[in-house]
């Protein structure tokens, strides 16, 4: 083989080595959510890349196998070339000359380029990698199994869902701290993510804050309730106030009708859906997406109504963070100069976690007051306290029925 052909062969091998080295970093660096979005839009390369990235050990085994085969071939051909030119000194010369060249043009430059263009290149380079993976399947299968076995011995990492959520919340933090937010007010994006974690009980309008009427109440009585209390929704009960069987809605336009009191109440019944008190807000949103005019009635484990949720309420709470005026008071958080937090017991636990950086559980209880009662197992007195996740929570205001306010400060060792 002539020197020219050997150099040409080495150039081809160097390009192959650069392809595999760059492909590895491109697939690791690509934006997974963006890739899934492209796949959902019908991009075949993105679909294939998402599918293969679901088994990363096989994909990495393919790139590493290609890199190593091309490296061995490059080293062999380069050594043969230099030995043919320089004799016994050719091996040393090959190491001195080719090692930095292979490193720069076969590793550093390709990886730098592929990393910068990862989102563009990933759906393209996945095709040759897929063919090679099929070609070398037995060897790749063996390598991936060995890698998986070693990884399992060393211990599994954190769950991907938690990691991705932390990454998203970190981006939200950066976005909200910038001055470039135009479409949304500061805090709105964060509230959207918080709502997805909440249970429906954390955002419902409690039944105790609403005016209710018997199912056989006359239209005249319902009209008077709406006008005297400035409300538009009236839950109707059957056996007792917590046994809600229907909801009547009378809008401002309806109330302008002089003949409204003579009309049939059933004409103004809303479409009602019953959901358990532990249902996630994200699931309720799916329900309201199909029927935006529906009224969500939240019930406990024995079927007693606890509250009401509407699409308007969800939107209002998400975008403004403010509740309806019909709800007495607002859950607050404040911090004094000594770093001690004053916390309303009605605060959702997700808000407490977000403020304090804690991870208090949200499935067993939904509010800070409920979480405190789960610790005390009785209605506590002012001054009683408990420690949770590095904070000392102290009751500062209480009634004979419930905890109203707590303080939180860093617990001392």
> Looking up tokens 């917590």, which residue turns up?
242
* CA 298 to centroid of chain Cα atoms: 25
**Cα four-point dihedral sign 103, 107, 110, 116:** negative
CA 163 to chain centre: 9
Tokens representing 204 are: 């419902």
Could you tell me if 230 and 324 are in contact, meaning their C-beta atoms sit under 8 angstroms apart?
A: no
Q: Residue 104 has which token pair?
A: 């720069």
Q: What is the residue-level pLDDT of the chain in tens, covering all 413 positions?
A: 688 888 888 899 999 999 998 988 888 888 877 788 788 778 888 888 888 888 777 888 888 888 888 989 988 988 888 888 888 888 888 888 888 888 898 889 998 898 888 888 989 999 999 998 888 888 888 877 887 777 777 755 544 444 455 555 554 555 445 444 444 444 555 556 666 667 787 778 888 888 899 999 999 999 999 989 888 899 999 988 889 999 999 988 888 888 888 899 999 999 899 988 888 787 887 788 778 888 999 998 888 898 898 888 877 776 555 444 333 334 578 888 888 999 998 887 877 888 888 888 876 677 888 899 989 989 999 999 999 989 999 999 998 888 999 999 988 76
Q: Distance between CA 78 and CA 86 in Å, rounded? A: 12
The helix (run of H) or strand (run of E) holding residue 308 is strand 305-309
Query: What letter would DSSP give residue 31?
Result: -
* Nearest by Cα to 369 from 392, 346, 397: 346
Output the six-digit token pair for 52.
């293969």
Does 200-320 carry CATH code 3.10.580.10?
yes
* Two tokens, residue 174: 């950066």
Please state the domain extents for the chain: 3-154, 160-197, 200-320, 333-410
d(C-alpha 53, C-alpha 80), whole Å = 38
CB-based contact 212:244 (threshold 8 Å): yes
* Residue 87 CB burial class (10 angstroms; 0-12, 13-18, ≥19): exposed
Q: Is the dihedral of CA 187, 193, 199, 203 positive or negative?
A: positive
- Structural class in CATH, domain 333-410: alpha beta
């Amino acid at each position: 083989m002539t020197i020219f052909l050997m150099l040409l062969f080495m150039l081809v091998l160097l390009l192959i080595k650069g392809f595999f080295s760059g492909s590895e970093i491109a697939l690791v660096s690509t934006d997974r959510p963006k890739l899934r979005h492209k796949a959902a839009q019908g991009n075949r390369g993105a679909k294939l890349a998402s599918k293969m990235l679901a088994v990363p050990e096989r994909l990495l085994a393919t790139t590493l196998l290609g890199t190593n085969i091309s490296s061995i071939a490059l080293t062999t051909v380069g050594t043969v070339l230099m030995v043919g030119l320089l004799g016994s000194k050719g091996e040393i010369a090959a190491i001195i000359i080719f090692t930095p060249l292979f490193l720069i043009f076969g590793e550093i430059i390709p990886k730098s380029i592929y990393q910068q263009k990862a989102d563009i290149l990933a759906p393209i380079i996945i095709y040759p990698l897929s063919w090679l993976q099929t070609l070398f399947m037995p060897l790749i299968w063996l390598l991936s199994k060995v890698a998986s076995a070693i990884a399992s011995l060393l211990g599994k990492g954190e769950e991907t869902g938690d990691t991705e959520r932390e990454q998203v919340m970190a981006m939200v933090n950066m976005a909200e701290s910038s001055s470039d937010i135009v479409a949304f007010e500061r805090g709105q994006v964060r509230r959207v993510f918080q709502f997805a974690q909440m249970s429906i009980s954390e955002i419902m309008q409690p039944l105790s804050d609403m005016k209710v009427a018997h199912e056989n109440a006359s239209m005249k009585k319902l009209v008077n309730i709406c006008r005297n209390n400035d409300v538009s929704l009236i839950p109707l009960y059957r056996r007792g106030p917590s046994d809600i069987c229907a909801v009547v809605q009378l809008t401002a336009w309806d109330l302008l009708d002089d003949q409204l009191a003579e009309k049939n109440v059933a004409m103004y019944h809303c479409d009602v859906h019953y959901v358990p008190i532990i249902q996630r807000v994200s699931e309720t949103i799916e329900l309201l997406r199909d029927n935006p005019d529906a009224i969500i009635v939240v019930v406990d484990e024995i079927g007693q109504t606890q509250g009401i949720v509407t699409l308007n309420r969800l939107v209002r709470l998400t975008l403004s963070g403010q509740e309806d005026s019909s709800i007495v008071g607002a859950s607050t958080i404040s911090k004094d100069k000594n770093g001690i937090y004053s916390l309303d017991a009605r605060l959702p636990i997700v808000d407490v976690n977000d403020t304090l950086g804690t991870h208090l559980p949200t499935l067993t209880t939904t509010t800070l007051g409920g979480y405190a009662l789960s610790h005390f197992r009785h209605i506590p007195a002012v001054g009683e306290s408990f420690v949770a996740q590095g904070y000392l929570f102290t009751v500062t205001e209480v009634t004979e029925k419930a905890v109203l306010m707590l303080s939180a400060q860093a617990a001392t060792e």
